[in-house]
Amino acid sequence: MTTTPAPTPSATPSATPSATPSATHATPYDVVVVGGSVAGLAAAVALARSLRSVLVVDAGHPRNAPAEGAHNVLGQEGVAPAELLARGRAEATAYGVTVLPGRATGATRTEEGFAVEVTGDAGRRYDVAGRRLLLATGLVDELPDVPGLREHWGREVVHCPFCHGYEVRGGRIVVLGTSPMAVHQTLMFAALSDDVTLVRDGMPQPEQQDLARLEALGVRLVEGPAVRLDERPGDGLDLVLASGERLPADAVPVQSRVVARSELFAQLGGELVDHPSGMARHVATELGGRTSVPGVFAAGSLAEPMAIVVASMASGVAVGGAVHLDLLLADADARAAGSGPR
pLDDT on residue 16: 34
Q: What is the pLDDT of residue 63?
A: 86
The 8 Å CB, 24+ separation contacts for 286-294 are 287/322, 288/318, 288/319, 288/321, 288/322, 288/323, 288/325, 288/326, 289/134, 289/315, 289/318, 289/319, 289/322, 289/323, 290/322, 291/135, 291/265, 293/265, 293/268, 293/269
pLDDT of residue 27: 62
Specify whether domain 29-140+257-337 bears CATH 3.50.50.60: yes
The runs of H, that is alpha helices, within 198-275 are 208-216, 263-267
**Which DSSP symbol is given to 270?**
-
**CATH 3.50.50.60 occupies which residues in the chain?**
29-140+257-337, 144-253
Q: What is the pLDDT of residue 2?
A: 46
Cα distance between residue 66 and residue 254, in whole Å: 15
**Domain 144-253 in CATH: superfamily?**
FAD/NAD(P)-binding domain (3.50.50.60)
Residues facing residue 116 across a β-bridge: 107, 128
Residue 230 DSSP SS3 = strand
Instruction: Please list the rounded mean pLDDT of every run of 10 residues in the chain (342 residues).
Output: 49 35 55 98 99 96 87 93 96 98 96 95 91 96 94 93 94 96 97 98 96 98 97 90 97 93 95 88 95 98 94 98 98 88 51
Residue 54, Cβ density class (10 Å: 0-12 exposed, 13-18 middle, ≥19 buried): buried
Mention every residue, 6+ apart, whose C-beta is less than 8 A from residue 196. Answer: 173, 174, 175, 186, 189, 190, 217, 218, 219, 220
Whole-angstrom distance, CA of residue 208 vs CA of residue 183: 12
| Cβ pair 97, 56 in contact under 8 A | yes
